[in-house]
């Protein structure tokens, strides 16, 4: 990877964390964003499957309680 600036490295770090399943709140805190909305607005294109993953995890959790 070639990073032209600190900003490129920061963006890549956030992208890898989100793609790796780290909760956006945690990523937001690491980046120092004032709120989660900034992070979600900036990186929403990376998270197209977020709703689907939430549904799958909810189903898994529900089946564990049976």
Residue-wise over 23-61: b if at least 16 C-beta within 10 A, else e?
A: ebeebbeebebeeeeebbebbeebeeeeeeeeeeeeeee
22 located within any domain: yes
Is-above-0.75 flag for pTM? no
**What total number of domains does the chain contain?**
1
Render pLDDT for 21-54 as a digit per residue (tens, 0 to 9).
898 999 999 999 999 899 988 988 887 776 677 7
18 located within any domain: yes
1 located within any domain: no
Round to whole Å and give the CA distance between 54 and 35: 21
13 located within any domain: yes
Round to whole Å and give the CA distance between 14 and 22: 9
52 located within any domain: yes
Radius of gyration of the chain (CA): 14
Domain residues for 19? 6-64
């Amino acid at each position: 990877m070639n990073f032209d600036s600190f900003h490129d490295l920061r963006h890549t770090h956030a992208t890898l964390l989100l793609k790796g399943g780290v909760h956006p709140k945690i990523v937001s805190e690491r980046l120092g964003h004032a709120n989660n909305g900034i992070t979600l607005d900036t990186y929403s294109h990376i998270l197209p499957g977020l709703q689907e993953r939430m549904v799958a995890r909810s189903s898994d959790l529900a089946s564990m309680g049976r």
